[in-house]
A and B are shown apart, each in its own frame.
Chain A
Amino acid sequence: MLLLSIALMYACSKSEDEVTPEEKKITFSVPSNFPAPVYNFEDNKLSNAGFALGKKLFYDARLSADKSVSCGSCHQQFAAFTQLDHKVSHGVNNCQGKRNTPPLFNLAWQKAFFWDGGVKNIETSPLNAITDACEMGTDIQTIIAFLKNTAPYPDLFKQAFGSTEINSQLVLKSIAQFTAVLVSGNSKYDKVMRKEAGISFTSTEQAGYNLFKDKCTSCHAEPFFTDFSYRSNGLDLMSSDEGRSHITGVASDFGKFRVPTLRNIEYTSPYMHDGRFYSLDEVLEHYNSGVKASANLDVQLKTGIPLSITEKEQIKAFLKTLTDNEFIKNKLYAES
C-alpha cells in the first residue's frame, strides 16, 4: 500500500513536470464490467518505452514495400482502428484485400484473431499484414534490416528491452504493447452498466437495449458484444469466402465468420466481413428481410429478425451508446 502510494505520487509529480502525454505511465486497465483478460502481459512486460516503440512501428509507413502503408493506414484511430469507407482493406500498390479491416480494441480478451479465427495470438497477428502481398507486401527480414539501420530505432529498442538487438520477437512484442493496451470500455453503455452517477439511458435507448437483449445478445454477447463464435448470418446463399472452414477444414464451418463486436459501431462502417453494408439501416434491414438460407445459416436466424421501423430506430439509438469517444480521441493512441 505504501509502495503503491509512493509509486502514484511519483507518477503524479512526473506528469506534472512533463506535459507530453507519452510521459503518463502507460497502464493496461480492465474496466470493472469486463472479465479477466486472456492476454495479460505476463511474458511481455508493459513499459512506457515498449508502448512508445510499438506505437511508432504501428504508424511507420516505411515498413511497407512501397513505403506508403502503415498499420495505421488500415487501422485508423478515428474509426476505432478500422479503415473508414473501405469495403475491403486497401494496401500497397493500391491493392484491394478480400476482407473488411476489423477495428482494434479489447484485443486482450480475444483468443483468436481475423474473421476466420486463423491467428491464435495477438503477438503474431501483425505477421500476415506484413507479409501479405496486398497489405504491406514485405517480409520481416527486410523490416529488421531497416530498423537496425534507421535511427532512432536501435536506441528505442534499447530503452524498451535493454539491448540494441532487434529481432522479430521484439518487434512483435512491442507492437503488442501498443495493440493490447487499446481498451475501449468508456462508452455511455459502460457507464450505465457501472451505474456511474448521473448517467442513464434515454427511454429510446432503453427500449433499444431491451430489444437488443431479446434479439441480438445470443450472438453479440455483452460486454464485448460478441461471443467470439463463428456463425453465418445469412448474407449470401453461397459465400464466395470460405470463412471459418478455411481454418478448420470442416464443411459445416463454410461461410461462417467471427461474430464481430458492436462497440464503436457508429464509427466502423462499412460492415460485415466484406464491408457490403455502409449503414446500420442496411444491416438492420438485412436481419429484417434479407437473411438468405445459406447452407450453414445459424438456426436462430431461420426466419430472420422481424423489426418494425420504431424498433429499428430504438436499436440504432442503443447501438450508438456503444460509442467510446474517450477511446477514439485518446491522444495516447494517436500518431505523434
Chain B
Amino acid sequence: MKLSPYFLALLCPIILLSSCKKDSNEVTADAKSTFSIEFENQVNGSPLVLNTNTYQNAKGEDFKINVFKYYVSNIKLSKADGTTYLIPESYFLIDASKAESTNITLKDVPVGDYTKIEYTIGVDYARNFAGAQTGALDPINGMFWTWNSGYIFVKFEGTSPQSPATANALTFHIGGVTDPNNTIRTFATEINAANPLRVRTDGKPNMHFIVNAAALFTGKTDISFSTLYFTMGGANSVIVANNYADGLFRLDHIHN
C-alpha cells in the first residue's frame, strides 16, 4: 500500500499525542523535587565573623576578613550507576555578609539517590565572555572586572599586620580563564553510599558544606602575607586557586 504523505502527516501528531499520554502515566519516572545546600563559612574550624575576629594563616600570621564572596556554578549530581544530571543555569554567589546567600535551593532536580556532587568554583569559560548577565552574574554584585572582562571567582579582602600594602590591606581577587593563568577549578566529592543525597517528592534534603576561608592561603603553597597580599588575576591568583581547589569545601553531612 502506498500511503499518501498527507495521511502520514495526519498520523504523526496522533502518534505524538499518544506517546505523551503514556509519559504522563509513568509520572514517577521523571518526577522532580528540590534540595538545598548550606555553605557554612568558617576559618580553620571557627565561625567566620567579618571585620572583628582575628585568625591565623598557616605561617602563623594574623589576619581579619572584611569581604568573602565566591561563586559556585554548574552543579552536577551523579548516581551510583554513573548517570549524571547537570542542574541548568546553576549560578550562585555566596557572600559571607549576606546570611540568606549561604543557603541555596536547587529546584526541579530529578528524584533519585545521588552519590557524588561536583561544581565549578567560579564561573565557566563561556559566561566570562558572554553578553550582559543578570541574577548571580549581574555585574552589580561587584564580582565583574570591567577592564579585563570576566568574573572574580573568589573575592577575599581583609587586613594583616604583615601586609606591606596601604592600611595593611589584603586583596585577593581570584579570576581569569585563559592559560597560563586559568583559575577555573572544579570541586567534587563522593557522598557516602549508605546515606546518599535522597531527592524525593516527599522530602527536601539539605547538604551541609563547611567552607574554610583559610584554605586560600595553604595547601599546595603556604602563603605569607608579607610577600603575597594583592592579586587580581595572573600567576599569583593561580597559586591561590590551586590552594583552594581542594581545601575550600568539605561535605560535612546530609539531612535527608
Q: Which residues of A contact B (CB under 8 A)?
A: 43-44, 114, 118-125, 127-128, 130-132, 140-141, 144, 167-169, 171-173, 176, 246-249
User: Does B25 reach chain A (CB closer than 8 Å)?
Assistant: no
B134 adjacent to A167 (CB under 8 Å): yes
Having A121-B149, A127-B139, A127-B146, one finds 13 other A-B pairs with CB under 8 Å, namely A114-B147, A118-B149, A120-B150, A121-B131, A124-B131, A141-B140, A169-B133, A171-B132, A172-B132, A176-B131, A176-B132, A249-B181, A249-B235
| CB-contact partner of B146 in A128, A247, A249, under 8 A | A128
Report the minimum CB–CB distance from B122 to chain A (whole Å).
Answer: 16
In the bound complex, what is the Cα–Cα distance between A248 and B181 (angstroms)?
9
Nearest CB on A from B16, distance (A)? 27
B137-161 interface (Cβ within 8 A of A): 138-140, 144, 146-150
Expressed in whole angstroms, the Cα–Cα distance for A168 and B146 within the complex equals: 13
The answer on a CB contact under 8 Å between A123 and B131 is yes
CB contacts under 8 Å to A, within B14-64, are none
Contact B234 A249 (CB under 8 A): yes
Q: CB-CB < 8 A to A140: which residues of B? A: 139-140
Residues of the A chain whose Cβ atoms lie less than 8 Å from the Cβ of B235: 249
14 A-B residue pairings within 8 Å (CB atoms): A43-B131, A118-B147, A118-B148, A119-B146, A122-B131, A124-B132, A124-B146, A127-B144, A128-B146, A128-B147, A167-B134, A168-B132, A176-B132, A249-B181
Measured CB to CB, the closest approach of chain A to B209, in angstroms, equals 29
B15 CB to nearest A CB, Å: 31
Q: Is the CB of A124 within 8 A of B138?
A: no
A108 to chain B, nearest CB (A): 12
The interface residues of chain B lying within 8 Å CB-to-CB of A118 are 147-149
In the bound complex, residues from chain B placing their C-beta under 8 Å from that of A114 are: 147
**Minimum distance in angstroms from B129 CB to a CB of chain A:** 4
Q: For residue B135, which residue of chain A has the nearest CB?
A: A169
Interface digits, B229-256 against A, CB 8 Å rule (1 contact, 0 not)?
0000111000000000000000000000
User: B residues near A, CB below 8 A?
Assistant: 128-134, 138-140, 144, 146-150, 178, 181, 233-235
- Residues of chain B contacted by A43 (CB below 8 angstroms): 131
Alpha-carbon gap, A125 to B149, bound state (A): 8
Q: Does A44 contact B139, Cβ atoms closer than 8 Å?
A: no
Interface centre among A124, A128, A131 (most CB of B within 10 A): A124
Residues of A within 8 Å of B149, CB to CB, are 118-121, 124-125, 127
Q: Which residues of A contact B131 (CB under 8 A)?
A: 43-44, 121-124, 172-173, 176
Beta-carbon contact of A124 and B234 below 8 Å? no
A128 to B114, CA, bound (A): 43
Which residues of the other chain, A, contact B144 by a CB distance below 8 angstroms?
Answer: 124, 127
A79, B181: Cα distance in complex, Å: 38
Residues of A within 8 A of B128 (CB): 120
- Nearest A residue to B129 by beta-carbon distance? A120
Q: Which residue of B lies closest to A113 (CB)?
A: B149
- In whole angstroms, what is the CA distance A114 to B149 when docked? 11
A121–B234 Cα distance when bound, in Å, is: 21
- Shortest C-beta distance, B74 to chain A (Å), equals 19
CB proximity of A121 to chain B, nearest CB, Å: 5
Structural contact, B134 and A168, CB atoms closer than 8 A: yes
Contacts of B150 in A (CB 8 A): 120
- The reply to whether A119 and B234 form a contact with Cβ atoms under 8 Å apart is no
- Looking at the assembled complex, report how far the CB atom of A43 sits from the nearest CB atom of chain B, in whole angstroms: 6
- Determine the distance from Cα of A245 to Cα of B211 in the docked complex, in whole angstroms: 34
State A258–B127 Cα separation when bound (angstroms).
24
Instruction: List the 5 closest A-B pairs by CB distance, nearest first.
Output: A172-B132, A123-B131, A128-B146, A169-B134, A127-B146
A138 to B170, CA, bound (A): 25
Given the interface pairs A141-B140, A249-B181, the reply to whether A173 lies near B146 with Cβ below 8 Å is no
The interface residues of chain B lying within 8 Å CB-to-CB of A122 are: 131
